[in-house]
C-alpha cells in the first residue's frame, strides 16, 4: 500500500501502524528493556516497537528514537507523524526523537545523550555495511551488563534470510565479538549482553 493511502486509512482508524517485528520479538524486547534507564532504538518506522519499549523501560527512563525519516513529496514524513501518535499513547519516561541514521546518531551521542545506554535495539539498515556502521558505533557506548538486540540477525524457517547482510555480519562478526555474549533468540531477533569489565559491578550487584 502506498504511504499516503495507508496514512489516510490509519487516520480513519481503518489501518494499523506497521511493523516488521513479530509479537514474540516485541515481547522479548520488552522483557530485556524492562527497568532500563537509557534506551535507544535504531529504525523506528511507525513506532510500534518503540511504544512497547517505552512502556517497559524505567519510569524515569529516556528513550532515544533514532530514524532519519526523510521527507516525502509533501515535504513531511507521514511515517514520523504515525510514530509520534503511536508512541504518545504511552506516558512512561521521556522520548527524544533523533532524525539521523543510526551511525550518525552514534557519532553524535556524546553530545545528544545523557549518559551511556543500557539497552539498544538495532533495526535500521540491514545490509552488511549498514549493520557494521550501527554495531561499530553503538557497541562501544553500551554499559557493562547492558543489552544490544538485533533484528533480522538470523534466518528462520518462516524467514529464510540466510543471504541478508545483517545475518552474515551477525554470524561472522558479532557472534565472535568477545565483549558480548548471546543471551536470547526469538524468531530473527538476537539479544547480546555486554560482558562486565574486570572490576565493574553488574546490574545485579555482583562484580563482573
Residue-wise pLDDT for 45-81, tens only, equals 999 999 999 999 999 999 999 999 999 887 899 999 9
* 198 band by pLDDT with thresholds 50, 70 and 90: low
Q: What is the mean pLDDT of residues 3-15?
A: 89
Q: Provide, rounded to the nearest whole percent, the portion of the chain with pLDDT above 90.
A: 84
CATH class of 20-194: alpha beta
Contacts of residue 154, Cβ cutoff 8 Å, sequence gap at least 6: 167, 170, 171, 185, 188, 189, 190
Q: Is-contact 142 118, C-beta < 8 A?
A: yes
Q: pTM surpassing 0.85?
A: yes
Q: What is the pLDDT of residue 1?
A: 66
Higher pLDDT, 30 or 203: 30
* 154 band by pLDDT with thresholds 50, 70 and 90: very high
The sign of the CA dihedral 194, 98, 108, 201 is negative
**pLDDT, tens only, 131-147:** 999 999 999 999 999 99
Query: What is the phi-psi region of residue 205: left when phi exceeds 0, alpha when psi lies from -120 to 50, beta otherwise?
Result: left
Amino acid at each position: 500500500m502506498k504511504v499516503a493511502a495507508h496514512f489516510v486509512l490509519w487516520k480513519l482508524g481503518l489501518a494499523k501502524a506497521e511493523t516488521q517485528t513479530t509479537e514474540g520479538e516485541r515481547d522479548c524486547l520488552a522483557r530485556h528493556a524492562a527497568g532500563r534507564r537509557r534506551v535507544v532504538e535504531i529504525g523506528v518506522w511507525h513506532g510500534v516497537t518503540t511504544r512497547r519499549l517505552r512502556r517497559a523501560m524505567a519510569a524515569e527512563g529516556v528513550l532515544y528514537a533514532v530514524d532519519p525519516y526523510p521527507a516525502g513529496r509533501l515535504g513531511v514524513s507521514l511515517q514520523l507523524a504515525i510514530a509520534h501518535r503511536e508512541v504518545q499513547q504511552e506516558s512512561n519516561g521521556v522520548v527524544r526523537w533523533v532524525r539521523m541514521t543510526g551511525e550518525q546518531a552514534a557519532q553524535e551521542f556524546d553530545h545528544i545523550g545523557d549518559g551511556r545506554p543500557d539497552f539498544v535495539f538495532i533495526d535500521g539498515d540491514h545490509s552488511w555495511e549498514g549493520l557494521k556502521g550501527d554495531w561499530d558505533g553503538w557497541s562501544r557506548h553500551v554499559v557493562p551488563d547492558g543489552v544490544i538486540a538485533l533484528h533480522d540477525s538470523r534466518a528462520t524457517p518462516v524467514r529464510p534470510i540466510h543471504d541478508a547482510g545483517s545475518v552474515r555480519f551477525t554470524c561472522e562478526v558479532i557472534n565472535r565479538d568477545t565483549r558480548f555474549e548471546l543471551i536470547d533468540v526469538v524468531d530473527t531477533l538476537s539479544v547480546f549482553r555486554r560482558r562486565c569489565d574486570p572490576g565493574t559491578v553488574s546490574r545485579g550487584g555482583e562484580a563482573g
